Amino acid sequence: MDFEVPEEIQELCRAIGTFIDREVRPVEEKHHDELESRGVTPHLVGVARDIMGKSVDAGFYALGMPEDVGGGGLGELGMCFVRETVAGSGTWLSLLMMGDLPFGPNRMLYELGSDLQRERYLMPLMRGEKTTCIALSEPDAGSDLSAVQTKAEKVDGGYLLNGKKHYTTNAPYCDFMQVFTRSEHGHSILLVDKPSEGLEIGRIQKSMGEDDLQSEVFFDDCFVPEENLVGEEGMAFAYAARFLSNERIAIASTAIGVMDRLVRLMVEHATTREQFGRPIGDNQAIQWMISDSLTELYAARSMCYDTAWRADQGENVMQQVSMTKLFATEAVCRVADRAVQIFGGMGYMRECPVERIYRIVRVMRIAGGSSEIQRMVIARTAGVGN
Ligand X SMILES: Cc1cc2nc3c(=O)[nH]c(=O)nc-3n(C[C@H](O)[C@H](O)[C@H](O)COP(=O)(O)OP(=O)(O)OC[C@H]3O[C@@H](n4cnc5c(N)ncnc54)[C@H](O)[C@@H]3O)c2cc1C
Which residues sit at the interface with ligand X, rule CB under 6 A?
Answer: 102, 133-137, 142-143, 167-169, 207, 214, 363, 366-367, 370, 372-373, 376
Contact 87, 258 (CB under 8 A): yes
Q: How far is the CB of 125 from ligand X (least distance, A)?
A: 15
HSE (side-chain half, CA atoms, 13 Å) at 185: 9
- Residue nearer to ligand X on the CB measure, 284 or 386: 386
Contact 20, 60 (CB under 8 A): no
d(CA 342, CA 266): 7
Sign of CA dihedral 247, 248, 251, 257: negative
Q: How far is the CB of 39 from ligand X (least distance, A)?
A: 12
- Residue nearer to ligand X on the CB measure, 29 or 372: 372
Q: How far is the CB of 128 from ligand X (least distance, A)?
A: 19
- Residue nearer to ligand X on the CB measure, 98 or 270: 98
Q: How far is the CB of 248 from ligand X (least distance, A)?
A: 12
Q: How far is the CB of 10 from ligand X (least distance, A)?
A: 32
- Residue nearer to ligand X on the CB measure, 9 or 189: 189
Q: How far is the CB of 329 from ligand X (least distance, A)?
A: 12
Contact 196, 161 (CB under 8 A): no
Q: How far is the CB of 367 from ligand X (least distance, A)?
A: 5
> Alpha helices, DSSP H only, in the chain?
7-19, 25-30, 32-37, 42-58, 76-87, 107-112, 115-117, 123-126, 236-272, 284-312, 318-343, 353-360, 371-381
- Residue nearer to ligand X on the CB measure, 76 or 247: 247
- Residue nearer to ligand X on the CB measure, 136 or 340: 136
- Residue nearer to ligand X on the CB measure, 169 or 254: 169
HSE (side-chain half, CA atoms, 13 Å) at 103: 24
Contact 172, 190 (CB under 8 A): no
Closest chain position to ligand X (CB):
142
Q: Is 141 left (phi over 0), alpha (psi -120 to 50) or beta?
A: beta
- Residue nearer to ligand X on the CB measure, 132 or 293: 132
Q: How far is the CB of 45 from ligand X (least distance, A)?
A: 17
d(CA 99, CA 89): 17
Q: Which helix (H) or strand (E) holds 181?
A: strand 176-183
- Residue nearer to ligand X on the CB measure, 160 or 367: 367
d(CA 233, CA 226): 10
Q: How far is the CB of 126 from ligand X (least distance, A)?
A: 20
Contact 368, 251 (CB under 8 A): yes
Contact 199, 218 (CB under 8 A): yes
d(CA 41, CA 34): 8
Contact 205, 167 (CB under 8 A): yes
